[in-house]
Every structure is written in structure tokens, then in C-alpha cells.
Chains A and B, each alone.
Chain A
């Protein structure tokens, strides 16, 4: 089993749609979780950290389920500019060494 697994998509949605991505991780000792956004041929940029209590930043909501070892990202009211690859990142248990999922591609169309 891969350390961090994501559905690669692509998710093809119209503007204004709500879309959700899930990510599962295998190391139960992991403590830090993140969603990054990567545009084509660019470096990843931090979208948000994921906390146990769940957290929201504008149209983006992240949730963590430790029991089932998965993380989710919900995007509401999708914009064309949300089109990108969303990377789930889990720090290895007991360290700050990041492990990346392969990313989920989102395409928002008019």
C-alpha cells in the first residue's frame, strides 16, 4: 500500500459546483497533514493545513479522520482559477519529512 493515496481524477466540474477530494494515508503515527495546490509546471504552494477539528478557509474546508486515516478537501462554489492539481501531503510519523500523494487533477469549466 502506498504511503499516501489519492484519486488522480481528473474531476471535471462546472463553475459554481462543489467538489470533494479524499486522500488516505498508511502511517497511523503521522501527525501533520496538508493540502497543496500545484499548477502545471510550477512548484506546489500550501493551500491549507489540516487539523483534527477540521478547518475552513473561505470556500475551502479540510477534514481529518484519524480513525479511518483519511483527509478530505471540499471546495465550494468552484472558480475557473481553482483548476489545478491538489496534492495531499502527510508528514511521516514522528518527523517533519513530507510524503506526497500523486495529486488529484481538478478542471473547472465555464
Chain B
């Protein structure tokens, strides 16, 4: 099956700094990737749709200037959390749709802790 990787798997940063998370499709090309955030015991919340070669589409309530998304190639999307605050601490996951554009293949997630 399709493989999606994420890096780093966990990161601790200080308040006010920026953190970049990478999402790669390893054995297939992904023109679209999705970024989610999951707080403990809650559902995955879609943050944005990352589109290769064009601007990301953000969900309502997600600050595009705070969560910068770049999808410069068919195998890589990055999410940068700028000026991180403790409330940004969460589990960030990316996914890419399968060839049928139906099911999602998920990266292993990045656990961000902002101190």
C-alpha cells in the first residue's frame, strides 16, 4: 500500500518559535495532501488542503498566516507552525488520498509540545 512519512515524529519547542513539519509520499505522487490536528480524546480536525503548485485551502477558523503550508513538489508538503504557543501543542497528522481519491493514507503524525 501507499506509504506516507512525516518528520519529525515529535518536537518540543519554546513559545514564540516556529516549527516545520514535513509530510512525504514515498512511493506515489500526491497532488493533494491534507493536514489535521488532533487534541487528546478528540477527533481529527481538518486544518487545510495542501495543493501542489498552488495555495492551500484552509478550513474555517484556521489562521493561514500562523499555519503556513507549502506543497512545492508532488511528494512533499510542509506545515510550519509560526510563533508557536502552548495551545498549539497537539498531534499533527497529514494524509494523502489514494489513487481512487477515496481512502486516505496517513503519515505517522508529529507530536508538538510548546513550552
Give residues in A with beta carbon < 8 Å to B: 8, 32, 34, 41-46, 49, 87, 89, 91, 96-103
A46 touches B104 (CB 8 A): yes
B interface residues (Cβ-Cβ under 8 A, vs A): 34, 36, 41-46, 49, 91, 93, 95, 97, 101-104, 106-109, 111
Chain B residues whose C-beta falls within 8 Å of the C-beta of A96 in the assembled complex: 97, 101-102
Shortest C-beta distance, A58 to chain B (Å), equals 18
Instruction: A102 to B43: give the CA distance in the assembly, Å.
Output: 4
Residues of A within 8 A of B43 (CB): 87, 100-103
Chain B nearest Cβ from A33, distance in angstroms: 9
Total A-B contacts with CB atoms under 8 angstroms apart: 47
Interface SS, B side: strand
**Among all A-B residue pairs, the 8 with the closest Cβ atoms:** A102-B43, A43-B106, A96-B101, A100-B44, A100-B43, A32-B102, A43-B109, A46-B103
Report the nearest B residue to A88, measured CB to CB.
Answer: B43
- Cβ of B111: which chain A residues have Cβ within 8 Å of it? 41
Q: Out of B97, B103, B109, which one reaches A49, CB within 8 Å?
A: B103
Closest chain B residue to A96 by CB distance?
A: B101
B49 to chain A, nearest CB (A): 6
* A50 CB → nearest B CB, Å: 11
- Are B91 and A41 closer than 8 Å at their CB atoms? yes
